[in-house]
């Protein structure tokens, strides 16, 4: 009995969470990840290594390392996509193997090779595959239904914009009316200018027979070439350009 007791392995020093089962929740059409937490409650550094019976089906990060005293390491176990058969039970298993870290840990491969079987500690976990139940499916449907409502409420935020557009329309109408009024004034001034030119031509014809040096002829020529109406047309055109520029900008 004493010999058998001396060959017994040490109990696992790390605290595993979960302790016995690694649960993977489907559907399994994509990578499914579950986490395994390793906590070191001792006052010594602990080396760990994670092994599995199906290495091609899982990706483990990190799969080995050193845990400081009082620290916790989270190991991500990623199950690769596969065709799930509910009638087939999973036979995959994981093992967490540990050993107290020696003084020198520069070469971890040598540490594990030189480790004595009595110094090794291990814990085994089985893999459990679960498919979503009906309640989970209903919750997913409700969440997908509520998503468009949230999007609609976000879109309702900028609704005050039509009010600002109506104000711009009112200002635009005022500018258009002002431009029309100025155009009417320009047309009126153009008519007056044309009338004055015709009057000037008529007066030139009347005075053509008079002497070119007489005061009457000079006065008539000055009246016929009066530039005042043309100046008014230029001023009106400047006003129209100003308002049209303001309207376009």
pLDDT in tens, 212-226: 555 555 554 555 555
**Which of these, 81, 115, 78, 77, lies nearest to 97 by C-alpha position?**
115
CA 225 to chain centre: 72
Is the pLDDT at 24 greater than 90, yes or no? yes
In whole angstroms, give the CA distance from residue 237 to residue 94: 91
Is the pLDDT at 151 greater than 80, yes or no? no
Task: Return the structure tokens found at 240.
Answer: 């129209």
- Cβ distance 58 to 24 under 8 Å? no
SS3 readout for the chain: CHHHHHHCCCCCCCEEECCCEEEEECCCCCCEEEEEEEECCCCCCEEEEEEECCCCCEEEECCEEEECCCCEEEEEEEECCCCCCCCCCCCCEEEEEEEECCCCCCCHHHHHHHCCHHHCEEEEEEEEEECCCHHHHHHHHHHHHHHHHHHHHHHCCCCCHHHHHHHHHHHHHHHHHHHHHHHHHHHHHHHHHHHHHHHHHHHHHHHCCCCCCCHHHHHHHHHHCCCHHHHHHHHHHHHHHHHHHHHHC
Instruction: Compute φ and ψ for 11, nearest 5 degrees.
Output: -70, 150
pLDDT tens, residue by residue, 53-111: 999 999 999 999 999 999 999 999 999 999 988 887 889 999 999 999 999 888 999 99
Residue-level pLDDT at 137: 54
How would residue 135 be classed by pLDDT, with cut points 50, 70 and 90?
low
Bridge partners (DSSP) listed for residue 79: 32, 58
How would residue 189 be classed by pLDDT, with cut points 50, 70 and 90?
confident
Match domain 15-130 to its CATH number in 2.60.40.740, 3.40.50.10800, 2.40.50.140, 2.60.40.10.
2.60.40.10
Task: Return the structure tokens found at 130.
Answer: 């679960």
- Cβ distance 139 to 147 under 8 Å? no
Is the pLDDT at 51 greater than 70, yes or no? yes
Domain boundaries, the chain: 15-130, 170-205
Token pair 């760990």 is found at 48
In whole angstroms, give the CA distance from residue 83 to residue 29: 7
- Cβ distance 95 to 121 under 8 Å? no
| Beta-carbon count within 10 A of 20 CB | 10
């Amino acid at each position: 009995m004493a010999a058998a007791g001396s060959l017994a392995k040490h109990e696992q020093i790390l605290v595993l969470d979960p302790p016995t089962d690694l649960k993977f929740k489907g559907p399994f059409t994509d990578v499914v990840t579950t986490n395994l937490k390793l906590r070191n409650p001792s006052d010594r550094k602990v080396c760990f290594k994670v092994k599995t019976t199906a290495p091609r089906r899982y990706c483990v990060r990190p799969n080995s390392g050193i845990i400081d005293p009082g620290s916790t390491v989270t190991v991500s176990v990623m199950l690769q996509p596969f065709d799930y058969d509910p009638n087939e039970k999973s036979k995959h298993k994981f093992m967490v193997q540990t050993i107290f870290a020696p003084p020198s840990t520069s070469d971890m491969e040598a540490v594990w090779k030189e480790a004595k079987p009595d110094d090794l500690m291990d814990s085994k976990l089985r893999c459990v595959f679960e498919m979503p139940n009906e309640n989970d499916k209903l919750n997913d449907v409700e969440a997908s239904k509520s998503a468009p409502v949230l999007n609609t409420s976000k879109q309702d935020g900028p609704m005050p914009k039509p009010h600002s557009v109506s104000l711009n329309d009112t200002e635009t109408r005022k500018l258009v009316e002002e431009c029309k009024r100025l155009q009417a004034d320009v047309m009126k001034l153009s008519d007056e200018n044309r009338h004055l030119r015709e009057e000037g031509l008529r007066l030139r014809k009347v005075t053509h027979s008079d002497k070119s040096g007489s005061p009457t002829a000079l006065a008539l020529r000055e009246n016929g070439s009066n530039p005042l109406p043309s100046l008014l047309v230029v001023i009106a055109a400047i006003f129209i350009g100003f308002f049209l520029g303001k309207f376009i900008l």
